[in-house]
Amino acid sequence: MRRFFSLILSTAIAFNIAGCTVQNADPQDKDLYVIGFSQVGSESDWRIANSQSMIETFTEDKGYELRMVNARQNQDNQLAAVRTFILEGVDFIVIAPVVEEGWDSVLAEVRASGIPVIIMDRSVSVSDNSLYLSNIGSDFLNQGTMAVEWLEEQTETGDPGQGEIGLTEGETPTEEVIEDEGSDETDTLRILHLQGTYGATAQLLRTQALEDAVEAHDNWEFAAQICGDYTEAKAYEVVSEYLSGDTDIDVLYSENDNMTFGAMRAMDDAGITYGEGGQVTIITFDATREALQYCLDGDIALCVECNPILGPAVEELISDYRNGNSISRQVYVPETTYTASDLTQEFIDSRIY
């Protein structure tokens, strides 16, 4: 804001000298603390809730001006937005990065401008971590670990809660497994892995957890790993295409809810059943209200929570910074998992995202 303010001031002076009228530069008059926020896009319900949380937190009433720029899932747009924030001389920059790589130069430019930066939601991979003050968001590896541990538990106990989904090596297949329409009549667990945007932290770490688990279990295998770019439309497209060639899947591990909704439509079209008593067991990430409803209704087996309400925690970090307090380099928000037995209609109806 400082640099922008002096720019406005000098423009005003220049215009006054020339005898012209200057437009009202209202936000600067109020001396608001300006946050430049480079947002990933609007690809998912999670993202909409995340943007909303920032808008509701950084209000004029509280002394902020939030300049949020939607990158439409394109890192080049993010780099341009951040450079614009530097030119405008905003007071603080918050970046929700589309992907991890490619941030060294622009963050060095931000540092040279003296503007502090927080990385929100996903992470950046840079050679010098001191280029940003803090990284706040989800522990994506833990999310993936919670998902695969749940799946392990279901296959080991043979009590998956949603119909048989596989057996550990050495166990005798039950009648249900042999009769399972989607099973290849062995104890192999075939997983369709629907991945988010390649190179995004949420994709890299949720994928890592599953790949490690597949590696560790002789009888788990990927039916396929396909990218749905975190959108319902793309997921519908790629899953429909996949199912036109192969329908032998036991588990859908989908790296966000919107892709799950697209995959469910594709499975409906292909006549593949899922959920209680169905062929496919669905694991999804985010735990938005709609996904939780599908879970309570028996269509989705496991919702792994990804909390988008990050605005208040980001504000706390910024306040600490402004007050000269030390701030944590890495902040994870608390998250959990839900199966139908954890849910009530009242809980779902009261969920804010």
d(CA 164, CA 183): 10
Q: Min. distance of Cβ 152 from ligand AHR in angstroms?
A: 22
Task: Give the nearer residue to ligand AHR in terms of CB position, either 123 or 162.
Answer: 123
Q: Which is nearer to ligand AHR, 103 or 285 (CB)?
A: 285
> C-beta of 98: minimal distance to ligand AHR in Å?
9
Give the x-and-dash track for 115-154 against ligand AHR (CB under 6 A).
------xx--------------------------------
Secondary structure class of 191 (helix, strand, coil): strand
Q: Measured at the alpha carbon of residue 275, what is the angle toward residues 186 and 49, in degrees to the nearest 5?
A: 125
Q: 300 is written with which tokens?
A: 């989705």
Is residue 335 within 8 Å of residue 283, measured between CB atoms?
no
| 101-103-108 Cα angle (round to 5) | 150
Q: For residue 220, state whether it binds ligand AHR (rule: CB under 6 A).
A: no
The structure tokens 């166990």 sit at 171
What's the token pair of residue 275?
A: 């959920």
**Phi then psi for 226, rounded to 5 degrees?**
-130, 150
- Residue 100 or 276: the one with the smaller Cβ distance to ligand AHR is 100
Q: Does 290 bind ligand AHR (CB under 6 A)?
A: no
> Which 91-110 residues touch ligand AHR, going by CB under 6 A?
none
Rank residues 4 and 230 by Cβ distance to ligand AHR and give the closer one.
230
Name the minimum Å distance from CB 242 to ligand AHR.
21
Residue 138 Cβ, how far from ligand AHR at the closest point, in Å? 7
Q: Does 250 bind ligand AHR (CB under 6 A)?
A: no
Q: Which residue has the tokens 């497994």?
A: 177
Per-residue x/- track, 44-73, ligand AHR (CB under 6 A): x-xx--------------------------
Q: Among residues 40, 27, 32, 26, which one has the least CA distance to residue 94?
A: 40
Q: Residue 158: how many CB atoms within 10 A of its CB?
A: 16
| Cβ neighbours of residue 325 closer than 8 Å, sequence gap 6 or more | none
Rule CB under 6 A: say whether 229 interacts with ligand AHR: no
Rule CB under 6 A: choose which of 51, 78, 145, 256 binds ligand AHR.
256
Q: Is 189 in the site for ligand AHR (CB under 6 A)?
A: no
Q: Which of 202, 210, 291, 296 binds ligand AHR (CB under 6 A)?
A: 202
CB atoms inside a 10 Å sphere around CB 317: 21
- Site size for ligand AHR, by CB under 6 A? 12
Q: Radius of gyration of the chain from Cα atoms?
A: 24
Give the C-alpha separation, 77 to 70, whole Å.
8
Footprint of ligand AHR on this chain (CB under 6 A)? Answer: 43-44, 46-47, 121-122, 202, 230, 256, 285-286, 306
